[in-house]
Chain A
Amino acid sequence: GPLSERPLMEVRLGELHTWISTCNFSPQGLLGAVQRAWSSYCAKYIHVKQGGPAGISMLLAGSCLLSYGWNYQHFKRHRWRKYH
């Protein structure tokens, strides 16, 4: 299909720049993008007949990474070595 309507996974690396330029960066656009991402994730991993641990474990892992990233400045002070 046309470039602006394709989801992110199907956009090739060369077309990424043009694809980002066609994005809608207004609040409604961002909210719609977040909603779409969430609904596609749910439809793929959670709203299935036989889901496994994968659905929530990926969410938990993502939250772990995010929280580590938010507290990185605090962890930086407890390094074991000074020079890496």
Chain B
Amino acid sequence: VLHTTRSLHTSQQSLAPVPPLPEKGGEVRHGLIPEEFFQFLYPKTGVTGPYMLGTGLLLYILSKEIYVVNHETAAAACILTVIIYAIKKFGGDVAAFADKLNEEKIATALAVKNEAMQTLQTAIEQEKKEQWRVEGRSYLFDAKRNNIAMLLETNYRERLLMVYNEVKKRLDYQVAMQNLKRQKEQDHMIQWVERNVIQSITPQQQKESIAKCILDLKALSKSAQAAV
């Protein structure tokens, strides 16, 4: 239902939220006559003024038959009795039910608003946390730089080791070659010398040396027997 009679936001406060509805309506006495009427007559006639006015008017209208009593009067009386009885009996329950409906609507709207505010709050906190994280990016880059430096160092040292090993292998080879050559020369020379010496031993010299040895042995055996 579009309330065309309600004034729209035309004033400067159009951005403010809509003011809430008033809690209770205008005071009405006996369900029909607004309280302003009683207040209007109170200074002049006191409390009973409006009632006297009402009674007087009623008697005047009935006696002059400005209001004619007919079958509709009886019908109106019965209907009014039933209506008043129903209002008195079920008014409270209906009011409570309507209030409950309103409460539920307001509660859902409030829940939506609260949830929206909650999500925005968590979003703000996460954003702040991200901003705090951004401050640490210098540490991050330092760590990365350290890592890379270490990698480069390791690589460099590995290659250094490789170079050292290769050079050592080549030098060892050279040393081994020299050793082998010298040993071979030595062996060869020894063999050559032995061969020549053995060749140079003539049979004559051999006999003389064997006889000398036997004499020496005899002499030694004599001295040995003496020692035992």
Binding site for B on A (CB under 8 A): 9, 35, 38-39, 42-55, 57-58, 61, 68, 75-76, 78-81, 84
Contact = CB atoms under 8 A, between A and B. Distances in A.
B22 interface: yes
Contacts, number: 69
B5 A35 contact: yes
Give the secondary structure class of B's interface: loop
B64 A54 contact: no
A52 B25 contact: yes
A75 B3 CA distance: 39
Interface in B29-49: 31-32, 34, 36
Contact of B64 (A42, A57, A78, A84): A84
Contacts of B67: 68
B28 A76 contact: no
Contacts of B24: 48-51
Given A47-B21, A48-B21, A80-B65, A58 B5 contact: no
B68 to A, nearest CB: 5
Interface string B81-125: 000000100010001000100100000000000000000000000
A78 B68 CA distance: 7
B25 A45 contact: yes
Nearest to A58: B32
B63 interface: yes
A76 B26 CA distance: 36
Interface centre among A9, A52, A81, A84 (most CB of B within 10 A): A52
Contacts of B95: 50
In the A-B complex, list the 9 residue pairs whose CB atoms are closest, starting with the nearest.
Answer: A54-B28, A39-B5, A48-B25, A44-B26, A75-B68, A45-B25, A84-B64, A79-B65, A51-B25
Contacts of B20: 49
Contact of A80 (B5, B32, B69, B102): B69
B68 A49 contact: no
